[in-house]
């Protein structure tokens, strides 16, 4: 059977893990790459430079906002599966560039679906949706496929359009089109402007003597964090189902930003003691008294999503999907990768040296 995947956003965190996953399954993989003035393929360079994989991996320079190019690429590649992962995906930045976010994250989904429809509509389509659709209302937790949507950012609103236009094309044109409502998923490949990676990078820089402290916004915000490598398998499983449907992928756990910070420092054998509340909260090394963490009001968002906790029971029952990496394992993986990159030692080596 011919298995050909077309991935938008292939150079991102999820795109790189998905490309690996599909190549290992024998797929021919085509990726859409936006032209940048600087190199932006770092996450997939190991695949592009692999003699084993590069014969089945093809890059195409285009943009999801360009409908004519999407139409041409779908017609030429004739993919059996399309994974639309491309977006302006940072919630905070979406408040600064709302119009661009609406176009790149929302309207571009319509353009890709239309390209698929015009070219015969025979492929299976995965739309990257998000837990930001729910707005983090505590009374609705844990959030499932049946939870009402209430997005609180331009990013969430754009993703809401993407969600419903995917459903609309499924019902109107009988496309095999599905939404994966993914809760926060992280990895060592996470962008440096996302809070989890910001935390592990800052701690690595503190250890290396390159940074004095870690500054954060709302440390009481709760998120359901999983490992991106687990979630791309869920994306693939969604498209292998007998009928098109929408699924929540999550860990069924929630943790505060503060808990992530504490766990990251604990990987280095450092206990953090917090004092104060709100913008006056500070975290100190319990042994030395050194200031390690503070709160900067500038990092608060205009409309904060306080509480996200996903219920993945439908995906577990119907797809056989379940996360493999737990919260501690995820934080350890990310902390270890950044410490090795910045300070040249693993977490275990650092702890052994600083007993």
Q: DSSP letter string over 216-231?
A: ES-TT-EE--EEHHHH
pLDDT of 39? 62
pLDDT of 113? 98
What are the structural domain ranges in the chain? 4-186+225-249, 195-222+255-308+325-353
Catalytic residue ranges = 130, 132, 155
137 pLDDT tier (thresholds 50, 70, 90):
confident
Q: Which of 154, 103, 107, 112 is nearest to 133 (CA)?
A: 154
Residue 6 to residue 8: CA distance in whole angstroms: 7
pLDDT of 37? 42
Using one digit for the tens of pLDDT, what is the confidence trace for 55-84? 899 999 999 999 999 999 999 999 999 999
Q: Please give the CATH number for the structural domain made up of 4-186+225-249.
A: 3.40.50.720
Is pLDDT above 80 for 116? yes
- Identify the burial level of 220 via C-beta atoms within 10 angstroms of its C-beta, where 0-12 means exposed, 13-18 middle and 19 or more buried: middle
Region 127-140: mean pLDDT is: 92
- What's the predicted TM-score (pTM) here? 0.94
Structure tokens at 218: 């709302």
3-state secondary structure of 91: helix
Q: Which of 157, 151, 146 is nearest to 136 (CA)?
A: 151
Region 308-312: mean pLDDT is: 97
Region 186-190: mean pLDDT is: 97
What percentage of the chain exceeds 90 in pLDDT? 87
Q: Where are the strands (E) in 39-161, listed by range?
A: 57-61, 81-84, 124-130
What is residue 17's DSSP assignment?
A: H
pLDDT of 1? 75
Q: Which of 239, 16, 242, 105 is nearest to 7 (CA)?
A: 16
Domain 195-222+255-308+325-353 superfamily per CATH = UDP-galactose 4-epimerase, domain 1 (3.90.25.10)
Q: How many residues belong to the chain?
A: 355
Mean pLDDT, rounded, of the chain: 95
pLDDT of 36? 59
Q: Are strands 282-285 and 272-275 parallel, antiparallel or unpaired?
A: antiparallel
Using one digit for the tens of pLDDT, what is the confidence trace for 206-244? 999 999 999 999 999 999 999 999 999 999 999 999 999
């Amino acid at each position: 059977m011919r298995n050909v995947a077309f991935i938008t956003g292939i150079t991102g965190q999820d795109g790189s893990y998905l490309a690996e996953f599909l190549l290992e399954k024998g797929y021919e993989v085509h990726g859409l790459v936006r032209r940048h003035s600087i190199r932006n393929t770092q996450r997939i360079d190991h695949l592009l430079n692999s003699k084993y994989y590069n014969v089945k991996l093809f890059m195409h320079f285009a943009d999801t906002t360009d409908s004519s190019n999407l139409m041409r690429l779908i017609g030429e590649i004739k993919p059996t599966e399309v994974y639309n992962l491309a977006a302006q995906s940072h919630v905070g930045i979406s408040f600064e560039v709302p119009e661009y976010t609406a176009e790149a994250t929302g309207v571009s989904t319509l353009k890709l679906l239309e390209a698929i429809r015009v070219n015969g509509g025979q492929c299976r389509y995965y739309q990257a949706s998000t837990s930001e659709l729910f707005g983090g209302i505590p009374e609705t937790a844990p959030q499932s496929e049946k939870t009402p949507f209430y997005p609180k950012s331009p990013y969430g609103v754009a993703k809401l359009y993407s969600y419903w236009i995917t459903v609309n094309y499924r019902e109107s044109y009988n496309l095999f089109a599905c939404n994966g409502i993914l809760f926060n998923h992280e990895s060592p490949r996470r962008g440096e402007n996302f809070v989890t990676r910001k935390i592990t990078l800052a701690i690595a820089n503190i250890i290396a003597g390159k940074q004095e402290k870690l500054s954060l916004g709302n440390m009481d915000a709760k998120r359901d964090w999983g490992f991106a490598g687990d979630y791309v398998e869920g994306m693939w499983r969604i498209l292998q189902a007998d009928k098109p449907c929408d699924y929540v992928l999550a860990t069924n756990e929630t943790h505060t930003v503060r808990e992530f910070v504490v766990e990251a420092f604990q990987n280095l054998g450092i206990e953090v003691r917090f004092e104060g509340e709100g913008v006056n909260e500070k975290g100190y090394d319990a042994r030395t008294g050194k200031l390690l963490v503070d709160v900067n009001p500038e990092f608060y968002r205009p409309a904060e999503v306080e509480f996200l906790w996903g219920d993945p029971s439908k995906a577990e029952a119907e797809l056989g999907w379940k996360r493999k990496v737990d919260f501690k394992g995820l934080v350890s993986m990310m902390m270890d990768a950044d410490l090795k990159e910045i300070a040249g030692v693993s977490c275990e080596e650092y702890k052994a040296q600083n007993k």
